[in-house]
Structure 1
Amino acid sequence: MTSSNDLSALAADAYVYGYPLVFDLSMVGAFMTKGFGGLPPAPFNEFAHGDQLADPSTHFVSVNNDTVYTVAQVDLSGGPVRLRTPDTAGAYYVLQFVDAWSNNFAYVGKRATGTEAGEWLIVPPGWTGTPPAGARGVIEAPTSVVSVVGRNVCDGPDDMTRVRNLQKGFTLDPLHPGSPGVAGLPAPDPGVPEELLFFERLRVWMAEFPPAGPDQDHQERFRPLGLLEEGPSPYVNAAPALVRALTAGLAEGKARVEAATKEPADAERPSGSWEMNPHLFDYNLDHFGIGTIDSPQWRIADREASYLVRATAARTGLWGNHGYEAVYAYTFTDADGEQLNGARSYTLRFEEPPPVESFWSVTMYDTPDYYLVDNPAGRYSLGDRTPGLVYGEDGSLTVVIQRERPDDPAEAANWLPAPAGDFRPVIRLYTPGRSALDGTYRLPPIVARG
C-alpha cells in the first residue's frame, strides 16, 4: 500500500514530468483564441503573422527585437499537411517544430535547409504513405499536435515590407483536400475541482499525445495517482487522501521547478559575467528530424534528469531553440558585481565581434517584467545589423548604455538606451560559432563609467 507521503512525492515527480506538456498545450489553446506577443489568434493549420517588430507595447517576456514571428499550431489528426516556404534570398529565417511535450524535433531555415523556396510534408505519428513529387522532405511529428514557430529577420521598420511579402509565402494545406476535420485538444472533465485541474489536463493530454516509448515506461509509475486511468475522471470525486497528496505534490513540484530556474552562484565566475546555457533544450532524446543534430553533444545523458531540465526550459523559455540555432545570454550586474541601473552610465566593449554565422544583437529590458524599454530614440536593441555604428580603428565596438542620449556623436551612434531603474540586457547569437558554444569566446562584461 502506498503511503500519503509516497503519493505526495510521486505527485511532485508527476508535476515536473508533465508540466511541459500541460503548459505547452495550454499555450497552444490560448494562441488559437487570444494570440499573444503581438500575434493575432489563428485556428489550427493556419499561420499567424506578426505585422511589426516588437516594441514596448508588446508585453511579452524578453520578446526579441530582431525577428518577426510567424507561428502556426498544426493538427495532423486529419492527415498530413503540406508546408510551403518562400525564397528568402539569403535572409535568415527559421521554422522550428515543437511537439506537444515541448521537444524541438525539426528545423527548416537558413542554417538547416537553406533559404530557397521549398515544399515539405508534415506527417502524423506512424504515417506510412508516399510523399508527393517535389517535396523536399518529410517532417515526422512525434505527436498529432505540433507548433511551428517561425522567425524572419527584420532590419527595422523600413524592412517590414520585405518581411510581409515573405510571410505570404508560408502556407499550410492538407495533403488530401476534403480529409476529415481535426480533432483538436481534448477537454478536461468540467467537474474536476480547480485544485486538481493540472492533473486532469495531464491525464487527458498524456493519453491523447503519448510520448516516446522510454517515457511511457517512466510514466507507468504514476498509475497510483490516477493519471493513467481511462474514461471518467478519477478526480471528480477523489478520495480526500488522494486530494491531499496531489495538492501537496503540486506545490512541491512547482517549488522544484522554480528552484531549478535559479542557477546557484558560481564562485569562480568573474563579476558581471553573462549567464548562457546553450544546452537548455537538449532534453529531446528520441526524435531527430530535418535540421536537428543527433549527437551526444546535444543530448542529456540521464533521461530522468532531462525531465527537470525540460520543465525548467518550458518555464523560462517555452519554444526556445537548440543552442546550435540560437543562444541567449543575460546579466543583471556590471563588472564590479553591482546591479545594472539607469542612474549610471556604462560601456560594453567588444574587442572582436561575437562569433556567429548569421547575426548578433544586444537588447535592453527592464526588470522585473523584462519588457522592452521605451525611449525617445525608438532603439530597443543594437547589433551587427544596426546602421551607423562607429567602430574603433582596431575594429572594436564600444556600446554606450545609459538613460540619456550621449553628447558625443560617436557615442550617440553606439547608444543603447536604458530605463531609469534596474535593467537586464540580453545578447542573442543567431547560428553561433563553435567558440561561443564551447566557452572559448567569452562575452565582455558591462563596465560602469565614473
Structure 2
Amino acid sequence: MGVILIAACALTAVIVAKNRTLSVGIRAATSGMGDASVSELGDVEPYPVIEFAEKHAYDLGGQAYLWFYGRWRMILEERDFVLKNGAKINSLLKYRDPPTADDEIYVTPNLDVLNIVSFFDLAEQPQILTIPPIEDGRYYTFMFVDAWHNIIANVSRQHYPQGGQQVALVGPGWQGALPEGVIRLDSPTNTVALLGRIRVSPEIPEDVAKAQALLDAVEVAPLSTMTDVPVPGSSVPGQSYELIDPNARQTLAIFDNYREILRRNPPYGKDAYAADIFEEIIPGAGLEPNPVFMAGLKETARDSQRMIRTTPLASRLRGWSMTPPEVSTPDWSWLLRAALTEYGILVNVKEESVYITTTLDSDRKNMTGGESYELRLASPPPVKEFWSITLYDMATAQLIANDWDKFRIGDNTPGLKYEEDGSLRLFISPEPPKDADYVPNWIPSTRDKDIQLNIVMRIYGPTEEILSKEWFPENWQKQ
C-alpha cells in the first residue's frame, strides 16, 4: 500500500511539475466516481497549485533523498579511502598497530582487532584476496559489502576455522573460469567494500606481533596475475569517488552525476524499483522540475539530513543500548541505511558481532570523568568468540588519554580477576582500585568532570542468550 501511495504521489507531482493543468490530476483522482462531478463534492476549497506542487515535491523528495543518501555516503567513504588515506582502488589499507589516545583514525576505534579496509572495482576483472592460514584459534572475519550497502558475505573463523582461503570477488555478468580451489563470491555491483578484522591482545606485545604477521600476509591481486589468458571485463568503471561533492550533504547536489553513478553500479532488487519511481523527480535524472517544485525539493534535503542524524540505531534496556540485529540487513529501510552510512558504519551480521553501549549510570545520569563506577556481572557475556569493554570520550568518540595507556577490559586481559562464583567486578575511575588484585579489572578514566563517558561492550560470536537479551549487563553503579 505504501509503495502504491508513493507511486501515485510521484505521478501527481510530476504532472504538476510539467506545468500541466490541475484538472488532469483531478480527473485521475476522481476516476471511478460514476456520474459525480467535482461540484457535487461540496464546498471544498481548491488546494493552491503552487502549495500542492511544493508539498508533493517535499514529500517525494524526502523519500528520494533518503533512498539515495546511503549510496552517496558509501561513495564518500570510497573517496576518503583514496584521497584522505592515500590508498588505491584494489589495494589494502592495513592498520597494523592497536589504536592509542593519540590516534584519530576513525570513531570509537576498536582495540580488539587489527583492521584491513579496501574498495574494489571489479569492472575489468575479478580480484583475488588471499587469507593466510590462521591455526592458533585466533578470531578473524572479512566482510564484503556492495555499493548499495548490502552485505555480500562474511568469510570468517565460523566458516573456515583454519583460514588459508583464496577468495575471488566477481563482478556482475563476469563469466570466466577461476583457478581450482578459489572461493567465488559474486557481487551484484562492481564496487565492493572490504572490512577485515584479525583479533589481537593489545596488552601483550608478542600477540601483537603475531597478529601483525597475519595482517601482513593478507594480499590482493587481479585474476590476470594467476592465469595465462587475459580476462575480458566491462568498459564501465565501478569507482565513483570523483563524481561527488563531499560538501553536498544537506543539498540537492548529492544528485550531481546521478545518472553516471547509477550506470557504474546499477541498483538492483528493491533499489531498482525505487530508482524507477524517483526517475522523474530527481534533478538531472529526468525532466527538469519547475522552480516551485525545486523549492520543495531543497527544503526536504535539509530536513531529511536532520532526520538521518537523529534516527536511533539501537534499542534500550537498563540504560544500555544494543544495536538491533536487523541493522546488518538495512535494505528494508532507506532511513536506517542512510543513518548507518552517515556514521561510516559497516555493521557486521548478528552471527559475527553485536555492540552494547551506555553513557548512563544506575541513576540514569550521565557518566563523567572525575567519578568512580563499578559494574557487577553475574557472569561474563556468553559468547562463542570473545568480549571486551572499551571507554571513549562521548563528544569526540575517541579514546581518553591516561597515564596507564589502558583503554579496555576483555576476556583476554592478563590477570582478569573473577569472583569465586564466576561473577565479575569491573571498574572505571581516574585512580586504580585500592585492592591491587582488581587493577586488571579497571579502565582508567579522566579527572575532568566535563568529559562525558561512553562505554562500548563488543560481543563477538554472540549466543542466542545475548541476541534475545536473556543475558544483559546491569547498570554501572556510581561509588
Q: Out of 59, 69, 90, which is 1:19 matched to? A: 69
Name the CA shift for 1:239/1:65 in 2 (closer, same or farther; >3 Å).
same
SS at match of 2:82: helix
Which residue does the alignment assign to 2:177?
Answer: 130
SS in 2 for 1:113: coil
Aligned AA (1:257): I
Counterpart contact for 1:273–1:331, Cα < 8 Å = yes
Q: Judge conservation of contact 2:255–2:284 (CA < 8 Å) in 1.
A: no
Match of 1:32 in 2: 82
Query: 1:338 corresponds to which residue?
Result: 365
Identical amino acids, percent of aligned pairs: 27
Counterpart contact for 1:274–1:445, Cα < 8 Å: no
1:403 alignment partner, one of 403, 427, 430: 430
Equivalent residue, structure 2, for 1:174? 222
Distance 1:415 1:263, change over 3 A: closer
In structure 2, the residue matched to 1:352 is 379
- 1:374 partner SS: coil
The alpha carbon displacement at 1:226 in A equals 3.4
Q: Residue 416 of structure 2: SS of its match in structure 1?
A: coil
Conserved in 1, the CA contact under 8 Å of 2:64 and 2:282?
Answer: no
**Maintained 8 Å contact 2:369/2:453:** yes
1:261-296 Cα shifts (integer Å, max 9, x gaps)? 3769x7xx44x3344423222225xxxxxxxxxxxx
Matches within 5 A, 1:284-299: 284=331
Q: Is 1:185 aligned to 2:240, yes or no?
A: yes
> In structure 2, the residue corresponding to 1:279 is in which secondary structure?
helix
Structure 2 equivalent of residue 160 of structure 1: 208
- Secondary structure of 1:411's partner? helix
In structure 2, C-alpha distance between the alignment counterparts of 1:186 and 1:251, rounded to whole Å: 23
Secondary structure of 2:330's partner?
coil
Q: 1:255 to 1:239 in 2, by over 3 A?
A: same
CA shift, 1:163, in A, is 1.9
Tell me how far 1:345 sits from its aligned partner. Answer: 1.0
Larger Rg computed on CA atoms: 2
Task: Tell me, in whole angstroms, the C-alpha distance in 1 between the residues paired with 2:369 and 2:379.
Answer: 26
The structure 1 residue matched to 2:160, chosen from 113, 119, 122, is 113
Partner residue of 2:39? none
- Are positions 1:9 and 2:83 aligned together? no
**1:44 maps to which residue?**
89
| Number of the residue aligned with 1:370 | 397
* Alpha-carbon separation, structure 2, partners of 1:48 and 1:171: 11
Give the aligned partner of residue 222 of structure 1.
278
Q: Shift of residue 440 of structure 1?
A: 1.1
Shift of 1:151: 0.9
Q: Give the partner amino acid of 1:140.
A: D
8 Å CA contact retained: 1:98, 1:148: yes
CA distances 1:13-58 after superposition (whole Å, capped 9, x unpaired): 11111111101111111111212xxxxx321111111120011122
Residue 55 of structure 1 corresponds to 100
SS in 2 for 1:112: coil
Deviations 1:87-138 (A, max 9, x none): 1212111110011111111111112332330112110012233321121x21
What amino acid is the match of 1:50? Y
Assess if the C-alpha contact under 8 Å between 1:364 and 1:424 holds in 2. Answer: yes
Q: Partners in 2 of 1:58 and 1:202 — Cα distance?
A: 36
Contact 1:275 1:329 in 2 (8 A): yes
Residues 382, 462 of structure 2: 8 Å contact kept? yes
In 2, are the aligned partners of 1:24 and 1:318 still within 8 Å (CA)?
Answer: no
Count how many residue pairs are aligned between Structure 1 and Structure 2.
413
**Residues 396 and 187 from structure 1, CA distance in 2 versus in 1: closer, same or farther, beyond 3 angstroms?**
same
CA distance in 1, matches of 2:218, 2:80: 22
Question: Whole-Å Cα distance in 1 between the matches of residues 95 and 474 of structure 2?
Answer: 33
**Residue type at the aligned position of 1:205:** I
Structure 2 counterpart SS, 1:27:
helix
- Which residue of 2 is the match for residue 68 of structure 1? 114
Instruction: Give the number of the structure with larger relative contact order, counting CA–CA contacts within 8 Å between residues 6 or more apart.
Output: 1
State the distance in 2 between where 1:193 and 1:423 align. 32
Partner of 2:352: 325
**Aligned twin of 2:265:** 209
Please tell me the residue identity of whatever aligns with 1:12: G
TM-score between the two structures when normalised by the length of structure 1: 0.85
Cα 1:189/1:418, change in 2 over 3 Å: closer
Q: 1:324 to 1:228 in 2, by over 3 A?
A: farther
* Counterpart Cα distance in 2 of 1:208 and 1:125: 11
Deviation, 1:201, is 4.8
TM-score of the aligned structures, taking structure 2 as reference length: 0.81
Q: Deviations over 1:386-420 (max 9, x none)?
A: 00111111111111111112222022221111233
| CA distance in 2 between partners of 1:167 and 1:148 (Å) | 14
8 Å contact kept, 1:79–1:175: yes
- Please give the secondary structure, in 1, of the residue aligned with 2:93: strand
CA distance change for structure 1 residues 410 and 343 in 2, over 3 Å: closer, same or farther? Answer: same
Distance 2:244 2:399 in 1: 39
Residues 1:81 and 1:200: Cα distance change in structure 2 (over 3 Å): same
2:291 to 224, 232, 240: 240
Q: Secondary structure at the match of 1:152?
A: strand
How far apart, CA to CA, are the structure 1 residues paired with 2:151 and 2:368? 36
Report the 3-state secondary structure (helix = DSSP H, G, I; strand = E; otherwise coil) of the residue aligned with 1:98: strand
Matches of 1:18 and 1:228 in 2, distance apart?
A: 14
CA distance in 1, matches of 2:95, 2:242: 29
1:393 alignment partner in structure 2: 420
Gaps of 5+ in 2: 1-14, 17-52
Q: In structure 2, what is the equivalent of residue 293 of structure 1?
A: none
Q: In structure 1, the residue corresponding to 2:320 is in which secondary structure?
A: coil
Instruction: Write the distance in 1 (CA, Å) between the matches of 2:413 and 2:236.
Output: 44
Partner of 1:412: 439
Q: What secondary structure, in the 3-state scheme, does the structure 2 residue paired with 1:156 have?
A: coil
Conserved 8 A contact 1:86-1:116: yes
